[in-house]
A and B are shown apart, each in its own frame.
Chain A
Amino acid sequence: MSIWEYANPKKFMQTSAWALPWVAGLAIVVLVGGLVWGFFFTPDDFKQGSTVKIIYLHVPSAMMAISAWFMMLAGSLIWLIRRHHVSALAAKAAAPIGLTFTLIGLATGAIWGQPMWGTWWAWDPRLTSFLILGLFYLGYIALWEAVEDPDTAADLTSVLCIVGSVFAFLSRYAVLFWSQGLHQGASLSVVSQEQVSEVYAWPLLTCIAGFVLLFVTLVLLRTRTEIRGRRIKALLARERRL
C-alpha cells in the first residue's frame, strides 16, 4: 500500500468518488460556518468598522491562490519524474481554480482598499507581485490549451510551472520582504506579536480551513472531469480506428 497506488486512474476514480461527497460536505459546513461566524458574530473594528470583515474572504483566497500554484508545482514534478498522468491532470485542473482565487483576492482587496486606503489599486510590491501571479496562471492555462499533444502539453506546462513558482514564492513572501507600500504585513503568524486579535483569528482560521477544503473539492471534481475527458477521447480514437 503506497501513495502511488492513486496514480492509477481507475483507483483514483474509485477513491475520489467515495471521498468527494464527504470533502464537499465538510467544505460547505466549515466555509458557511466560518463565514457566518465571521460576518455576524464578531464585533466591528474600532477604526475600520464593518469593512474589516472582508478579511474572511480576502486572506483565505489570497493564501489559496498562492498555495494552489505550489500544489500545481508538486503535480508537475510528479509528472516529470514519475510520468503519472493523474498528477499532470490534477495540476491542469487546479490552474483555473487558482486563477479564480487570485481574482477573488484582487477584487476583495480592491473593495477593502477603497474605503481604507482611499484607492482601489496601488502599485505596491505586494499587489504587483500578486497581479503577476495571476498573469502566470493565465499563461499556464493558455499553454495547456495551445499545445495539441497532451503529453507535450503536460511537459511544457510543468516546466513553466517550475519557473513560475519563483514568482509564486515571491508573492508569498512579498508580504514579508518589502515594508514599503500600503499593504500591511502578515495577518496571521505563529511567532509574531503583531497579528489580528483573537476575536478575528478563530473565525479567520475556520474560513481558511473552509477554503482549503473547497479547493480540494474543486480539484478532485475537475480532475475527475479531466480523466473522463481523456477516456472519451481514447474511446473516440478507438472507434475511428475500427
Chain B
Amino acid sequence: MIALLARDLRLAVRAGGGFGLGLAFFLMVVLLVPLGVGPEPDILRRIAPGILWLAALLACLLSLDRIFALDFEDGSLDLLATAPIPMEGVVAVKSLAHWLVTGLPLTLISPVLGVLMNLAPAGYVWLVVALALGTPALSVIGAFGAALTVGLKRGGLLLSLLVLPMYVPTLIFGTELVKRGAAGAAPGTPLLLLAGITLLAVALLPFASAAAIRANLK
C-alpha cells in the first residue's frame, strides 16, 4: 500500500501538471473574486470564508477524474483489483494521495489568500483548521464520485452533478467554522460537525467506492 501511495504521488508530481494545476486554479478563483465583486475591504471580509471554501471545493473537483481514470484506461486498475490488497485499501490509498496533492497544499497556502481576501485576523487559524479537517472529506467523497463514473467516456459533468450535492454539508460547516472563528465566536458546533462528517466519510465511503469500482471492472 505504501508502494502504491508512493507511485501515485510520483505520478501526480511528475506527469502532466496535475499537482500544480489544482493549486493554480484555487489561486485564480480567489484572485478573480475581488475583480468581479469589487475591492471594498468590508465586502471582501464578509464573503472571504465562503469564497475560500468554494474555491477549494472547485479546485478539488477539477482534479477528481484523475484519481481513477488514467489507471482505468491503461489497465493498471485491473492489476490492482487482482493484487493482494483489497479494493477498499486501494481506494483509501488513492484518496489519500489525492488529498496530499490537492487538499494539503490548499490548506497550507490558504492563509496567504486569506490576506488577499482581507480575512479578519482571528480567522486565519480557523481557516487552516477548517480546511485541514474538511478537505479529506472532499477527497474521499470525490473518489466515490470518480469511482462511479470511471467507466464513462465523458463523465466529467456527471461527476460534478453527483459529487457537488455531497459536498454541501462540508461546505456549510466549513464556512460556518471560519465565519465564527473570524467573528471571535465559539467555534465548537461547526468544528465537531465538520470533523464528524470527515470521519464518517473516511470510514464508510471507501467501501462504497470499492463496490463501484468492482462493478465497473466487471
Indicate if A132 sits at the interface (CB-CB under 8 A). Answer: yes
> Bound complex: CA of A108 vs CA of B208, how far in Å?
35
Q: How far is the CB of B114 from chain A (nearest CB, A)?
A: 24
- The residue on A at minimum CB distance from B164 is A135
- For B152, the chain A residues whose CB sits under 8 A away are 146-147
In whole angstroms, what is the CA distance A197 to B152 when docked?
Answer: 53
Chain B interface residue count, CB cutoff 8 Å, equals 20
What 1/0 mask marks residues of chain A from 17 to 44 whose CB sits below 8 Å from any chain B CB?
A: 0000000000000000000000000000
Q: Determine if B151 and A160 form an interchain contact, defined as CB atoms under 8 angstroms apart.
A: no
With contact pairs A146-B155, A147-B152 given, residues A136 and B165 touching in the complex (Cβ less than 8 Å): yes
Given contacts A147-B152, A159-B208, contact A152 B161 (CB under 8 A): no
Docked-complex contact B215 and A155, CB < 8 angstroms:
yes
Interface hits, B141-189 → A, CB 8 Å = 144, 148-149, 151-152, 155, 158, 161-162, 164-166, 168
| B211 interface residue (CB < 8 Å to A) | yes
Residue-wise interface mask of A (125-150) relative to B, using a CB-CB cutoff of 8 A (1 in contact, 0 not):
00010001001101100110011000
A156 lies within 8 A of chain B by Cβ: yes
- Cβ-defined partner of A159 (8 Å) among B161, B164, B211: B211
Q: Does B14 contact A (CB under 8 A)?
A: no
**A138 to B149 alpha-carbon distance, docked (Å):** 15
Contact status B165-A167, CB under 8 Å? yes
Contacting pair A162 B208 (CB below 8 A): yes
Consensus secondary structure, chain A interface: helix
Tell whether, in the assembled complex, residue A132 and residue B165 are in contact, meaning their CB atoms are under 8 Å apart: yes
- CB of B161 within 8 A of CB of A156, answer no
Query: Is A232 located at the chain interface by the 8 A CB criterion?
Result: no
Chain B nearest CB from A238 CB (Å) reads 23
A196 at the interface (CB under 8 A from B): no
Contact present for B216 and A146 (CB under 8 Å): no
Nearest-neighbour CB distance to chain B for A15, whole angstroms, equals: 30
Give the CA-CA distance A142 to B163 in the complex, in Å: 13
Contact A152 B144 (CB under 8 A): no
Nearest CB on B from A176, distance (A)? 17
* A143 and B158 within 8 A (CB): yes
With contacts A152-B218, A159-B211, A163-B144 taken as known, whether A147 is within 8 angstroms of B165 at the C-beta atoms is: no
Expressed in whole angstroms, the Cα–Cα distance for A143 and B216 within the complex equals 13
In whole angstroms, what is the CA distance A135 to B162 when docked?
8
CB neighbours (8 Å) of A138 from chain B are 161
Contact B161 A139 (CB under 8 A): yes
Report B122-145 residues with CB < 8 Å from chain A CB: 144
Residues of B close to A156: CB separation below 8 A: 148, 212, 215-216
Complex alpha-carbon distance, A229 and B166, angstroms? 32
Q: Which residue of A lies closest to B172 (CB)?
A: A128
> How far does the alpha carbon of A155 sit from the alpha carbon of B215 in the complex, in Å?
6
Q: Decide: B148 and A159 in contact? CB cutoff 8 A.
A: yes
Known: A132-B168, A147-B152, A156-B148. A142 touches B161 (CB 8 A): yes
Is B205 part of the binding interface, using a Cβ–Cβ cutoff of 8 Å? yes
Residues of A within 8 A of B149 (CB): 143, 146
Nearest CB on B from A225, distance (A): 24
Please tell me if the beta carbons of B168 and A143 are within 8 angstroms of each other in the complex. no
| A136 partner residues in chain B, CB cutoff 8 A | 165
Q: Given A152-B215, A155-B215, A156-B216: A135 and B161 within 8 A (CB)? A: yes
Distance to closest chain B CB from A140 (angstroms): 9
Is B158 a contact of A142 with CB atoms below 8 Å? Answer: yes
Which of chain B's residues have a CB closer than 8 A to the CB of A135?
161, 164-165
The contact string, 1 if C-beta is below 8 Å from chain B, for chain A 44-80, is 0000000000000000000000000000000000000
Q: A138-B161, A159-B212 are in contact. List 7 more A-B contacts (CB 8 A).
A: A139-B158, A143-B148, A152-B216, A155-B211, A156-B215, A160-B148, A160-B162
Interface residues of B (CB under 8 A from A): 144, 148-149, 151-152, 155, 158, 161-162, 164-166, 168, 205, 208, 211-212, 215-216, 218
The 5 closest A-B pairs by CB, nearest first: A155-B215, A135-B165, A139-B162, A132-B165, A139-B161
